[in-house]
Amino acid sequence: MRLQSIALVGSLLGVASAHFHLQYPPPRGPFVADQEVGFCDGYVNSTTNRTEFPLDGGIISITSSHPHFTFGVIISTLENPTSFRNFTQAVDYFVTESAGGFCFPVNLSAKNLPGVQEGANVTVQMVFDGGDEKLYQCADLTLKQAATVSSDVPCVNGTTTSGSPSAAVETGAPSPTATTGDASSLSALNVAGMLGIVGSVWAVL
Ligand SMILES: *[C@@H]1O[C@H](CO)[C@@H](O)[C@H](O)[C@H]1NC(C)=O
Ligand SMILES: *[C@@H]1O[C@H](CO)[C@@H](O)[C@H](O)[C@H]1NC(C)=O
Ligand SMILES: *[C@@H]1O[C@H](CO)[C@@H](O)[C@H](O)[C@H]1NC(C)=O
Ligand SMILES: *[C@@H]1O[C@H](CO)[C@@H](O)[C@H](O)[C@H]1NC(C)=O
Ligand SMILES: *[C@@H]1O[C@H](CO)[C@@H](O)[C@H](O)[C@H]1NC(C)=O
Ligand SMILES: *[C@@H]1O[C@H](CO)[C@@H](O)[C@H](O)[C@H]1NC(C)=O
Ligand SMILES: [Cu+2]
């Protein structure tokens, strides 16, 4: 049991350097851990292969190796934003607990920002702070009211799959009402136990 715990802690500490990964909308390029402290994970130029993204019924999906983090989304309507000053807040910062997946609905038109409209090319930048440093990843989008998110996109919180975060999004995931007492809630308990172990080891370190 003790050996198992140490092996488990080792593997979790290993992924801690992985920070967070943007899963959806797809980032500008392959994740680069060392560059994530910088503007757009080091991808300073807009891409031309923009993702068509729902104007008001989108989702943002990440994986996080930090179980407790602050997250927000900033947006720019420039074709090629080059500075944080070219961005404004699209999703206010919030604090959450979720190791593994984190996925939430987003309405980019909710703040009525100028230029955030049908057909617009925008860049969204994820701002993540899991306790080490502020981290950034960007996605280049074309906003379309009629765009839909593919059911292939992973959309989970923690390691537990649940229903789609909004009625407008089809994730193809099973209904959250069907999970009581089954394997998925068991795995959630296991994760809670694992995090407890990690917490106590960090406290010793
Ligand atoms: C755009 O192209 C780059 C380079 O091929 C690729 O790494 C990236 O994943 C693509 N992005 C999207 C949203 O398809
Ligand atoms: C970004 O674009 C500029 C202007 O086209 C180019 O000089 C520069 O090399 C590009 N940077 C990267 C990292 O691709
Ligand atoms: C949006 O970006 C695409 C791909 O870079 C480009 O072809 C298109 O002209 C842009 N649209 C506008 C309105 O600038
Ligand atoms: C984008 O940011 C750069 C650097 O701060 C600034 O020089 C430029 O004027 C900004 N562009 C717009 C359109 O605000
Ligand atoms: C998104 O926000 C806009 C502006 O407040 C609102 O009109 C629209 O109903 C919202 N859409 C959704 C899906 O919540
Ligand atoms: C994840 O949690 C957020 C709130 O913390 C919630 O808005 C979202 O719907 C949840 N996602 C899933 C897939 O259940
Ligand atoms: Cu980190």
CA-to-CA distance for 99 and 95, rounded, in angstroms?
13
Query: Within the chain, how many helices (H) and strands (E) appear?
Result: 2, 10
Q: Closest ligand 3 atom to the C-alpha of 50? A: 4
Calpha distance 145→115 (Å, rounded): 14
Q: What is the pTM of this model?
A: 0.79
Q: What is the pLDDT of residue 199?
A: 34
At residue 99, the pLDDT reads: 87
Q: Is 142 in the pocket of ligand 1 (CB under 6 A)?
A: no
In a domain, residue 34? The reply is: yes
Better-predicted residue by pLDDT, 10 or 159: 159
**104 in a structural domain:** yes
44 Cβ below 6 A of ligand 2: yes
> Does a structural domain hold residue 45?
yes
Amino acid 16: pLDDT: 44
Per-residue pLDDT at 196: 36
- 199 lies in a domain? no
Higher-pLDDT residue of 49, 187: 49
Q: How far does residue 55's CA lie from ligand 5's centre (Å)?
A: 9
Q: Is residue 172 part of a domain?
A: yes
User: Looking at the domain assignment, is residue 169 inside a domain?
Assistant: yes
Do you find a cis peptide bond into 25, omega within 30 degrees of 0?
Answer: yes
Of 58, 63, 23, residue with least CA distance to 157: 63
pLDDT digits (tens, 9 = 90+) for 88-135: 999 999 999 998 999 999 999 999 999 999 999 999 999 999 999 999
For residue 49, give its domain range.
Answer: 19-176
What would the pLDDT profile of 140-196 be if each residue is shown by its tens digit? 999 999 999 999 999 999 974 444 443 333 333 333 333 333 333 333 333 333 333
What's the CATH code of the domain at 122?
A: 2.70.50
Position 127 scores a pLDDT of 98
Task: Specify if 7 maps to a domain.
Answer: no
The answer to whether position 197 is within a domain reads no
Return the pLDDT at 204: 29
> At CA 78, angle to CA 96 and CA 134, rounded to 5?
30
The residue type found at 24 is Y
| pLDDT given at position 17 | 58
More confident residue, 147 or 197: 147
Return the number of other C-beta atoms located less than 10 Å from residue 163's C-beta. 16
Nearest atom in ligand 2 to 43's CA: 13
Number of structural domains in the chain: 1
